[in-house]
Amino acid sequence: MEDYNVVKNDFNEISELDDPKWNHNNCYFKQLMKLIPDNVNTCLDIGCDKGELLFMLSKKSKRGICYDWFA
């Protein structure tokens, strides 16, 4: 069984980072954010990895859902 406190602590640490390091996904985040209207009800991030995009989406949405598969 996984220790979900470890996962929670990792996500909390990531959320406090000022500028995430570049990768092939997050280079598009700023452009995507321009397409999301303010105050949307729910945002879904599939393949969220560390949750960097969902953290940004949380500033524009009432609810965020993320899903990633760790094999």
pLDDT tops 90 at residue 50 = no
The per-residue pLDDT for range 3-27, each reduced to its tens digit, is 777 777 777 776 666 666 777 778 8
Please answer whether residues 4 and 25 qualify as being in contact, where contact means their C-beta atoms are separated by less than 8 angstroms: no
pTM over 0.75? The answer is no
49: containing domain: 4-67
pLDDT tops 60 at residue 1 = no
* Number of domains forming the structure of the chain: 1
